[in-house]
């Protein structure tokens, strides 16, 4: 039995409030192998770490148990401390008596019992720990950014400025994201295009940035420092190099029935189109579903007219595989579909708009060239009603339970923009609460009320009835209890923000998790807000949760800083907790090879001697540089031939046995 | 002599004589009417002793593992279910199919000697002959004929694959079965039991286990170099005669064959205490089919087994957003 020392942390009252430390110390001191026990208020502090270091030396400890918070939090801290005291860091075992115990229990007696059991399990495991030696791995010093909205743009620029290569993958034909669609931006009301398009140009022209637009992630392999990503470049049907962006083709294309995605369907576009004039790259794409040439074989007008000879009907999707050291996910968000909100007549009436459609309608480059008119009759509206929280803070199945965070501000912005240009238009806003925490945000919203005279009504809209060319909005003012009927000409719905529909699928490809609302999950909501649980993969922007531009840009910078930090290391220390194969036991079934998510296992041929007859058989072989120690293979292996160092089957069984004791 | 037996002896003789194979894996007849036992022969003179009858129930594919280690080329007779096991062994890299020549035997079903005994037909019985569903009992006193499948092993009544899915030489015409296939009635019955009754049922069944390992030994897929239950160092097996030990054994075994089990029913057939092990395996097959689309282990070796492969759109029962929790 090795000499084991145990260190019990109070974590202030976090642990000590629910776990009787004295009793734990008493019980632990009686466990077999334990030669030393010490408790302290904050074991992770310098004083606490010194307690560990000193005890290792004075008591010649061969194993160290730290009973404290989750190993995610401080395992590394204590491994380093042990190393400094001359003990192999992998001889340290953490018993999580905070997240797994004190935080989830109220009854002190039970929690104390559980803490003792968890430590007993850790002691059982630690007795079987062996010294492990970490190796070094190389880092590919190129980064990948997925999504070319403002989040992706800012991340890419920051990384590129630090001198590293960045590839940006954008699903749509142009970068820009939602910000490109927006008219003016809160809280300063500067024009979105004026602050965004220069950045888009910077991305396109930066020598360190490589753009893959109209492209998607096909597959992701590898791990931190060494991701191998296959990108699918969808057939654009236009040669990116040859096209000069003259736009003749998009003008002359006779197929004009498709709705412009960029203009939220408020305008049609040709089958060959550039989403918007400032698109980057300024190269059109052919929407094959609507192209006459692809459907009937006839037409080909664009090909005939293109002075650069850039039209290539024969293009096919291309797969490109490249290596990256780090990945940033910046795939943004969507607003919800309103088909379940029949009471607002969105499906039935052209003058009921989503907030995003409204942005296009008021945009100088939009479908009406900025003229503020009703889509139904091209006349200027006299009364406009905004409805907030459409599908936000809605616990019913048709909505989202969370607050979309940006709608209070953009609604105030939109209301104010109307009043600013057309002071005679009456503007109403129905709201549940106005939430404007942010620098200069509350002041901004108050201006809408105080300076511009926007009528804010706390209350809900029950139903909208179209009557003649009016929309009768039936609502309740919850302050006075009065029912209201407003004869509006236009209604704008602040539809909830939601995660991208393909977020979960992308998450699975990247092995990162999504929350119950399908937004990507950060590693720690406070301390690791831009990291994911997969090392080397970071988050930026609204794909992690609804965000406005200031927050998005701040997060993008943070993600870039993390990436730069990673890429600046020439070598990473690899995890020595990797799998090993016992060749005598291995059947060569290669179940492990099939299940390994990191392609770390290969087949190897072995010559065996069987009563004088040599024959060949297959066994599995682990590539230690690729193995991430997930342990998937160990459970797939029937004879138990493959085992994970640091988490051997025996160690795990010993833990379970100790728990069941 | 039975036509298929004649063909069997011919092909064995031919392939041994022309050097296509070095040895033949087949069956010979023992002293009793129900005794057809597996043999390995390399002598052309012995080919005349090979036999095909309604008692060739042993699956010969598993013997290939040891025989192939001698670097020989082997000819082997395989029934429908045996051929499925053969495919799985190929998938598992346990045998080198290049060195195997398969003689396919479409199989009308094997006869359960217990059922013959229960019917009182074993007295003075010398021989049983079967052609399709016609069964002839030859006794000292005379001959009795039966039509139908009442003497078939239960597992054969549920057979989903009477014809070999892989072979070089097919020895007879394919067997066609038109009866409505009721594949999981036994499983559905157990699924309907309340949880506690189900637990009691299996506890009772497993407590009968005497750990003779017959099920594992006969199972064509329990083919590890060293089984975990024989590896003391692995710490999974224990000699203790405790309910939990037997339960562990059977549940671990069921998981080890999960997704690979070809449902040949051999485990139940050989269990001396009559544990209905096939129900456990069938439950897993049924679940796999339900969760990952119809997958019958090993009709096609090119298909990837659902439990060993990951697809992005795989069913994910742990995903909180789709099920569970408070509504
Ligand atoms: C009506 C409205 C008005 C707004 N007004 C303001 C305002 O005035 N001020 C303000 O601060 N904020 C405003 N916002 C919020 C602002 O739009 C967001 O903060 C910002 O767009 C978030 O940027 P992003 O890059 O994270 O996401 P997005 O803008 O959504 O960009 C994501 C990009 O990733 C691409 N993408 C998605 N999935 C993939 C994939 N799988 N592979 C490759 N690429 C992919 C998308 O095509 C898109 O280009 C408003 C939002 C709305 C809806
Ligand atoms: S799963 Fe086990 S037996 Fe099969 S190849 Fe891998 S290590 Fe060998
Ligand atoms: S532990 Fe096994 S499955 Fe996981 S990465 Fe390593 S070799 Fe692959």
3-state SS string for B85-136: HHHHHHHCCCCCHHHEEEEECCCCCCECHHHHHHCCCCCCEEEEEEECCEEE
Q: How confident is the model at residue B318 (pLDDT cuts 50, 70, 90)?
A: low
> Is the same domain home to B156 and B189?
no
pLDDT per residue over A103-141, tens digit each?
999 999 999 999 999 999 999 999 999 999 998 889 999
Instruction: Determine the Cα angle at B61 with ends B59 and B65, to 5°.
Output: 135
Residue A628 has a pLDDT of 85
* B234 vs A contacts (CB less than 8 Å): 640, 649
Q: pLDDT by residue (tens digit) across A485-537?
A: 999 999 999 999 999 999 999 998 998 999 999 999 999 899 899 999 888 99
Rounded-to-integer distance, Cα A46 and Cα B103, Å: 75
pLDDT digit string (tens) for A457-488?
999 999 999 998 999 999 999 999 999 999 99
Q: Which of the four CATH numbers 3.40.50.2300, 3.30.70.3270, 3.10.25.10, 3.40.1390.10 does domain A579-645 have?
A: 3.30.70.3270
A395-428 per-position pLDDT tens digit:
998 999 999 999 999 999 999 999 999 999 999 9
Q: Predicted confidence band at A611 (pLDDT cuts at 50, 70, 90)? A: confident
Architecture in CATH of A335-498: 3-Layer(bba) Sandwich (3.50)
Domain span(s) for CATH 3.40.50 in chain A: 4-126
For residue A650, give the nearest of B235, B309, B320 by CB distance: B235
Mean pLDDT, chain A, whole residue set: 95
> Are B135 and B192 within one domain?
no
Among all chains, which residue has been given the structure tokens 């036509």? B3
Domain(s) of CATH 3.50.50.60: residues in chain A = 142-234+317-332+501-567, 335-498
Question: Does residue B149 sit in the same domain as residue B191?
Answer: no
Same-domain check for residues B57 and B80: yes
User: Looking at residue B326, what is its pLDDT?
Assistant: 39
Residue B81 has pLDDT above 60, yes or no: yes
Interface of A with B in 479-508 (CB under 8 A): 505, 508
* Residue A89 backbone dihedrals phi, psi, to 5 degrees: -60, -25
Length of chain B as a residue count: 327
The residue-averaged pLDDT of B41-56 equals 94
pTM: 0.75
Q: What is the pLDDT of residue A499?
A: 98
- Looking at residue A98, the DSSP 8-state letter turns out to be I
**Does B183 score more than 70 pLDDT?**
no
Distance from Cα A154 to the centre of ligand 1, integer Å:
12
**Residue B322: per-residue pLDDT:** 46
Contact across the interface for A615 and B92, Cβ inside 8 Å: no
* Confidence (pLDDT) at A273: 97
Written as six digits, the tokens of A591 are 């179940």
Could you tell me which CATH number the domain at A4-126 has? 3.40.50
| pLDDT-derived band at A293, boundaries 50, 70, 90 | very high
Using a 10 angstrom Cβ sphere, with 0-12 exposed, 13-18 middle and 19 or more buried, the burial of residue A9 is buried
From the CA of A625, the nearest ligand is 3
Residue indicated by tokens 């670097």: B71
B20 and B115 inside one domain = yes
The Cα–Cα gap between A278 and A258 comes to: 20
Number of other residues whose CB lies within 10 A of the CB of residue B13: 17
Whole-number Å distance between alpha carbons of B314 and A112: 41
Assess if residue B323 is contained within a domain. no
Is B93–A653 a contact, with Cβ atoms under 8 angstroms apart? no
Among the atoms of ligand 1, which is closest to the Cα of residue A540?
26
Range of the domain at B103: 3-170
Residues B10 and B153 in one domain: yes
Which is nearest to A493 in space by CA: A595, A616, A569, A394? A394
Q: Which residues pair with A609 in a beta bridge?
A: A614
Do B125 and B201 lie in one domain? The reply is no
Does the distance separating the beta carbons of A610 and B69 come in below 8 Å? yes
| Residue of B262, B272, B265 whose CA lies nearest to B299 | B262
Q: Which DSSP string do the residues of B169-221 spell out, in sequence order?
A: EE-SPPP---SPP--SHHHHHHHHS-HHHHHHHHHHHHHT-----HHHHH-TT
User: Do both B48 and B160 map to the same domain?
Assistant: yes
Task: Answer yes or no: do B28 and B149 share one domain.
Answer: yes
What pLDDT is stored for residue B323 in this prediction?
45
d(Cα A58, Cα B130) in Å, to the nearest integer? Answer: 83
Among the residues of A90-131, which ranges form H helices? 108-127
Evaluate whether residue B320 is within a structural domain. no
Q: Where in chain A is CATH 3.30.70.3270?
A: 579-645
Q: What CA–CA distances, in Å, run from A370 to A363, A364, A466?
A: 5, 4, 26
Instruction: Please indicate whether residue A409, judged by its CB atom, sits closer than 6 Å to ligand 2.
Output: no
Phi, psi of B321 (to 5 degrees): -75, -15
Domain boundaries A142-234+317-332+501-567, corresponding CATH code: 3.50.50.60
């Amino acid at each position: 039995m090795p000499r084991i020392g145990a260190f019990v942390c109070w974590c202030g009252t976090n642990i000590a409030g629910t776990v009787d430390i004295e009793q734990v110390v008493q019980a632990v001191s009686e466990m077999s192998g334990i030669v030393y026990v010490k408790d302290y208020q904050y074991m992770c502090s310098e004083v606490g770490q010194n307690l560990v270091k000193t005890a290792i030396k004075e008591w010649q400890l061969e194993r160290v148990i730290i009973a404290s918070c989750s190993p995610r939090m401080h395992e590394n801290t204590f491994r380093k401390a042990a190393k400094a005291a001359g003990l192999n860091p992998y001889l340290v075992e953490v018993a999580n008596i905070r997240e797994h115990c004190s935080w989830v229990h109220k009854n002190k007696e039970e929690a104390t019992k559980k803490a003792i059991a968890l430590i007993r399990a850790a002691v059982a495991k630690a007795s079987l720990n062996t010294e492990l030696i970490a190796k070094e791995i190389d880092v590919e010093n190129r980064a990948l950014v997925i999504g070319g909205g403002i989040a992706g743009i800012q991340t890419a620029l920051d990384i590129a400025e630090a001198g590293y290569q960045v590839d940006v993958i954008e699903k749509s034909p142009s970068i820009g994201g939602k910000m490109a669609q927006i008219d003016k931006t809160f809280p300063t009301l500067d024009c979105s295009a004026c602050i965004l398009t220069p950045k888009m140009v910077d991305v396109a022209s930066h020598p360190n940035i490589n753009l893959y637009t109209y492209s998607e992630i096909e597959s992701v392999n590898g791990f931190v420092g060494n991701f191998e990503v296959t990108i699918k470049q969808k057939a654009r049907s236009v040669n990116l190099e040859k096209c000069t962006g003259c736009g003749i083709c998009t003008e002359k294309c006779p197929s004009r029935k498709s709705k412009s995605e960029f203009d939220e369907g408020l305008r049609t576009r040709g089958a060959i189109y550039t989403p918007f004039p400032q698109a980057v790259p300024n190269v059109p794409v052919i929407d094959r579903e609507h192209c006459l040439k692809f459907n009937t074989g006839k037409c080909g007008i664009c090909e005939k007219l293109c002075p650069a000879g850039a039209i290539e009907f024969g293009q096919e999707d291309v797969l490109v595989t490249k290596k990256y050291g780090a990945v940033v996910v910046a795939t943004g968000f969507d607003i919800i579909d309103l088909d379940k909100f029949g009471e607002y007549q969105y499906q039935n009436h052209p003058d009921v708009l989503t907030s995003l459609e409204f942005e296009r309608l008021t945009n100088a480059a939009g479908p009406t060239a900025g003229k503020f008119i009703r889509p139904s009759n091209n006349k200027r509206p006299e009364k406009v009603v905004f409805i907030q929280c459409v599908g936000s803070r809605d616990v019913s199945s048709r909505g989202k339970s969370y607050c979309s965070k940006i709608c209070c501000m953009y609604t105030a912005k939109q209301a104010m923009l109307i009043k600013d240009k057309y002071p005679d238009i009456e503007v109403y806003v129905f709201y549940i609460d106005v939430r404007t925490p942010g620098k200069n945000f509350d002041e901004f919203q108050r201006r809408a009320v105080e300076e511009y005279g926007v009528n804010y009504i706390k209350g809900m809209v029950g139903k909208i009835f179209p009557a003649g060319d009016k929309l009768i909005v039936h609502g309740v003012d919850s302050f006075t209890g009065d029912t209201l009927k407003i004869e509006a000409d236009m209604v704008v719905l602040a539809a909830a923000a939601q995660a991208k529909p393909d977020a979960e699928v992308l998450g699975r490809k990247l092995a990162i998790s999504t929350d119950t609302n399908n937004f990507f999950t950060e590693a720690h909501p406070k301390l690791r807000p831009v990291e994911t649980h997969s090392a080397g993969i970071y988050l930026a922007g609204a794909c992690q949760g609804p965000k406005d531009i200031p927050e998005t840009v701040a997060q993008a910078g943070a993600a870039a800083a993390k990436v730069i930090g990673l890429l600046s290391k020439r070598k990473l220390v690899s995890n020595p907790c990797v799998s090993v194969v016992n060749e005598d036991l291995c059947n060569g079934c290669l179940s492990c090879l099939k299940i390994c998510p990191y392609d770390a296992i290969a087949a190897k041929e072995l010559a065996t001697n069987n009563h004088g007859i040599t024959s060949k058989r297959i066994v599995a072989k682990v590539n230690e540089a690729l193995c991430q120690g997930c342990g998937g293979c160990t459970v797939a292996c029937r004879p138990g031939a493959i085992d994970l160092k640091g988490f051997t089957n025996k160690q795990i069984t010993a833990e379970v046995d100790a728990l069941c004791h | 002599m039975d036509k298929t037996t004649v063909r069997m002896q011919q092909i064995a003789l031919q392939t041994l004589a022309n050097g296509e194979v070095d040895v033949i894996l087949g069956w010979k007849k023992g002293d009793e009417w129900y005794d057809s036992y597996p043999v390995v022969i390399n002598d052309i003179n012995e080919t005349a002793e090979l036999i095909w009858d309604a008692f060739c129930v042993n699956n010969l594919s598993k013997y290939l593992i040891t025989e192939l280690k001698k670097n020989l080329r082997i000819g082997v007779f395989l029934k429908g279910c045996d051929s499925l096991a053969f495919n799985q062994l190929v998938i598992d890299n346990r045998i080198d199919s290049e060195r195997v020549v398969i003689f396919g035997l479409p199989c009308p079903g094997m006869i359960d000697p217990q059922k013959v005994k229960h019917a009182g037909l074993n007295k003075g019985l010398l021989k049983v002959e079967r052609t399709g569903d016609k069964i002839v009992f030859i006794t000292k006193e005379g001959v009795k004929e039966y039509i139908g499948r009442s003497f078939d092993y239960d597992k054969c009544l549920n057979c989903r694959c009477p014809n070999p899915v892989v072979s070089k030489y097919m020895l007879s015409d394919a067997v066609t079965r038109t009866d409505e296939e009721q594949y999981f009635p036994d499983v559905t019955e157990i699924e309907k039991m309340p949880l506690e009754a189900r637990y009691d049922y299996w506890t009772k069944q497993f407590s009968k286990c005497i750990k003779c390992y017959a099920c594992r030994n006969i199972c064509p897929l329990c083919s590890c170099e060293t089984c975990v239950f024989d590896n003391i160092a692995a710490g999974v097996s224990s000699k203790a005669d405790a309910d939990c030990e037997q339960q562990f054994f059977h549940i671990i075994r069921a998981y080890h064959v999960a997704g690979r089990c070809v449902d040949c029913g051999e485990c139940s057939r050989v269990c001396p205490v009559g544990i209905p092990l096939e129900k456990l395996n069938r439950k897993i097959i049924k679940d796999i089919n339900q969760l990952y689309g119809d997958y019958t282990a090993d009709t096609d070796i090119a298909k990837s087994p659902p439990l060993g492969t990951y697809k992005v759109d795989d069913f994910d029962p742990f995903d909180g957003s789709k099920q569970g929790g408070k509504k």
